[in-house]
């Protein structure tokens, strides 16, 4: 079948199977797979994927992380999680001597939260062109698109010359990535990988790094009836919050621009939560003795978590004169998650060829030119590919809204186009048998 006719057949197949595609994405959303460290509820979701992949004709590998040799002693392993009944799943299709491609996504989602949802967080309901639910956008929609793209080519009897793998790993959220590391050590290292994180149909060849830290303050509590010198841990916590906001502007002013983030979102310093005193009591009768503040800091590739903390402490010491309570109440800072290293896929003839294919097929599917590669505005587990394996990883996924928030949703038009885009990439990258 000549190439133009093959593209037309893909388009028609996707249109004819639109209901099935939406149903698959909805089903993935309807299976809760929430990560709540140190555990997670990915088991049922992973079993569903394994069954689906096997029924579609894949050779399926479902394995426990602790059975992967070398995982626990690897320098990138984070030894603070429990992996009982949290398997990884991988399915392999086609074969031959052509170039191989791996779709790698995470099974877990963040907690649905306590905010009000207009649509049930695990309902998988469709309204006005959007599929709603936790994980619909991050990142079950992208995984469903990869699954449907492979099924499309199998149904059309397209003879791909290279192997195609679909991998679903556990524990990516909340500073995870051991699942992705396990996949690399398991030996699933293709010529190229696509991570279907929600890129809004853009090509992300790099991603930010980021980490969460806790600052804890211990003051002198009470009421000064006898002239005692009291130190409010709450005041110290609020002053540190103000310092962090100033630190954000300081960092941005000193930041060397990165070409992949030109015109995009720069690395952030974000306050996540503040606690002080006895949170179980509405009425407080004294200055609070303790305070805690959680914060998130991002960085470009090449910056470590240690680099960030060193810069923060230098700034703290230089600015301390402006924060009188902090002089008396120095914070204790510790990481709450591993630092998710920023990374960038290597550039060589092979990856340049892949990017040209992705841009060309994307323009054909979307009807508009695909812009140059960019850096993503988020951290992810891509560094396990780019820093610890031979497989370079591109981030390419659907459009949507409200990741990690109430009413998370997948834009179905982008989802349908992404299925076609993935299928077109597979043909041109893996090649066709004679």
Q: Which of 335, 364, 383 is the last residue of a domain?
A: 335
37 by Cβ neighbours in 10 Å (0-12 / 13-18 / 19+) ranks as middle
Residues 375 and 325 in one domain: no
Residues 172 and 239 in one domain: no
Residues in contact with 165: Cβ distance below 8 Å, sequence separation at least 6, in sequence order: 90, 91, 92, 93, 100, 101, 102, 103, 188, 190
Q: How far apart are CA 50 and CA 90, in angstroms?
A: 8
Residues 141 and 92 in one domain: yes
**Minimal CA–CA distance to 415: which of 188, 159, 124, 88?**
124
Helix (H) or strand (E) holding 290: strand 290-299
User: What pLDDT, in 10s, does the model give residues 193-232?
Assistant: 999 999 999 999 999 999 999 999 998 887 777 767 888 9
Cα 207 from chain centroid (whole Å):
10
Looking at residue 208, what is its pLDDT? 97
DSSP state of 289: S
**Minimal CA–CA distance to 209: which of 160, 258, 146, 271?**
258
Residues 201 and 221 in one domain: no
Residues 7 and 142 in one domain: yes
Residues 147 and 191 in one domain: yes
* CATH classification at residue 330: 3.30.70.360
- 139 preceded by cis ω (within 30°)? yes
Looking at residue 48, what is its pLDDT? 98
Q: What six digits make up the tokens of 122?
A: 């695990």
Coil, strand or helix at 120: coil
Q: Is the dihedral of CA 241, 268, 82, 124 positive or negative?
A: positive
Q: How far apart are CA 432 and CA 434, in angstroms?
A: 6
Cβ neighbours of 373 (radius 10 Å) = 21
**Minimal CA–CA distance to 166: which of 198, 200, 185, 142?**
142
User: What pLDDT, in 10s, does the model give residues 148-162?
Assistant: 999 999 999 999 999
Residue 284 has pLDDT above 90, yes or no: no
What is the number of domains present in the chain? 2
Residues 215 and 203 in one domain: no
Q: Which of 335, 354, 376 is the last residue of a domain?
A: 335
Quote helix, strand, coil % in the chain, to nearest 5.
Answer: 35, 20, 40
Contact indicator for 288, 233 with CB cutoff of 8 Å: yes
**Minimal CA–CA distance to 87: which of 68, 59, 70?**
68
Coil, strand or helix at 21: helix
Looking at residue 278, what is its pLDDT? 79
User: What pLDDT, in 10s, does the model give residues 10-61?
Assistant: 999 999 999 999 999 999 999 999 999 999 999 999 999 999 999 999 999 9
Up-side HSE of residue 373: CA atoms within 13 Å toward CB?
20
Contact indicator for 401, 362 with CB cutoff of 8 Å: no
* Strand-strand pairing, 39-40 and 59-63: unpaired
Q: 36 phi and psi, to 5 degrees?
A: -130, 85
Looking at residue 1, what is its pLDDT? 60
Residues 150 and 19 in one domain: yes
Residue matched to tokens 């090509």: 203
Contact indicator for 117, 123 with CB cutoff of 8 Å: no
Residues 173 and 31 in one domain: yes
Supply the pTM of this predicted model: 0.95
Cα 163 from chain centroid (whole Å):
25
Q: What six digits make up the tokens of 332?
A: 């204790």
Residues 169 and 44 in one domain: yes
DSSP state of 432: B
What percent of the chain lies above the pLDDT cut of 70?
A: 100
Contact indicator for 208, 264 with CB cutoff of 8 Å: no
Up-side HSE of residue 98: CA atoms within 13 Å toward CB?
20
Q: What is the mean pLDDT of residues 88-99?
A: 94
Q: How far apart are CA 92 and CA 99, in angstroms?
A: 14
**Minimal CA–CA distance to 242: which of 308, 319, 182?**
319
Q: How far apart are CA 123 and CA 112, in angstroms?
A: 12
On average, the pLDDT of the chain sits at 96
Looking at residue 282, what is its pLDDT? 79
User: What pLDDT, in 10s, does the model give residues 381-392?
Assistant: 999 999 999 999
* CATH classification at residue 395: 3.40.630.10
Residues 102 and 149 in one domain: yes
Residue matched to tokens 């793209």: 149
Residue 287 has pLDDT above 90, yes or no: no
Cα 159 from chain centroid (whole Å):
32
Residues 81 and 111 in one domain: yes
Q: Which of 283, 307, 335 is the last residue of a domain?
A: 335
Contact indicator for 179, 170 with CB cutoff of 8 Å: yes
Least confident stretch, 254-258, 290-294, 320-324? 254-258
> Would residue 404 be called left, alpha or beta, if left means φ above 0 and alpha means ψ between -120 and 50 degrees?
left
Domain boundaries, position 331: 209-335
């Amino acid at each position: 079948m000549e190439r133009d006719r093959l593209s037309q057949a893909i388009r028609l197949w996707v249109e004819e199977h639109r209901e099935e595609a939406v149903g698959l994405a909805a089903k993935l959303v309807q299976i809760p797979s929430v990560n709540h460290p140190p555990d997670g509820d990915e088991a049922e979701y992973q079993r569903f994927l394994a069954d689906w992949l096997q029924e579609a004709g894949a050779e399926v590998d479902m394995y426990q992380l602790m059975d992967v040799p070398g995982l626990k002693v690897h320098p990138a392993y984070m030894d603070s999680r429990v992996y009982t009944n949290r398997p990884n799943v991988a399915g392999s299709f086609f074969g031959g001597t052509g170039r191989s491609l791996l779709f790698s996504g995470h099974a877990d989602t963040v907690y649905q939260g306590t905010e009000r949802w207009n649509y049930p967080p695990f309902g998988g309901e469709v309204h006005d062109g959007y599929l709603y639910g936790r994980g619909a956008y991050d990142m079950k929609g992208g995984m469903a698109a990869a699954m449907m793209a492979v099924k499309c080519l199998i149904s059309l009897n397209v003879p791909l010359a290279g192997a195609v793998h679909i991998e679903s790993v556990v524990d990516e959220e909340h500073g995870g990535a051991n699942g992705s590391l396990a996949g690399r050590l398991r030996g699933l290292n293709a010529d190229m990988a696509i991570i279907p994180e929600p890129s809004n149909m853009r090509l992300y060849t790099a991603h930010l790094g980021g980490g969460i830290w806790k600052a804890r303050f211990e003051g002198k509590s009470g009421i000064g009836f006898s002239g005692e010198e009291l130190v409010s841990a709450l005041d110290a916590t609020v002053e540190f919050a103000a310092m962090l906001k100033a630190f954000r502007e300081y960092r941005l002013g000193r930041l060397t621009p990165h070409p992949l983030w030109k015109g995009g979102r720069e690395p952030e310093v974000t306050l996540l939560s503040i606690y002080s005193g006895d949170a179980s009591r509405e009425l407080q009768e004294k200055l609070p003795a303790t305070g805690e503040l959680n914060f998130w800091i991002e960085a470009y590739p090449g910056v470590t978590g240690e680099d960030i903390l060193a810069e923060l402490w230098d700034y703290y010491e230089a600015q301390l004169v402006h924060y009188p309570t902090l002089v008396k109440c120095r914070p204790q800072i510790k990481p709450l998650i591993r630092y998710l290293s920023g990374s960038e896929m290597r550039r060589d003839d092979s990856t340049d060829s892949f990017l040209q294919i992705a841009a060309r097929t994307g323009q054909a599917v979307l009807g508009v030119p695909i812009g140059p590669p960019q850096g993503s505005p988020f951290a992810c587990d891509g560094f396990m590919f780019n820093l610890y394996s031979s497989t370079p990883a591109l981030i390419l996924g659907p459009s949507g809204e409200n990741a990690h928030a109430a009413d998370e949703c997948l834009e179905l038009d982008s989802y349908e186009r992404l299925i076609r885009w993935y299928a077109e990439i597979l043909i041109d990258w893996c090649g066709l048998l004679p």
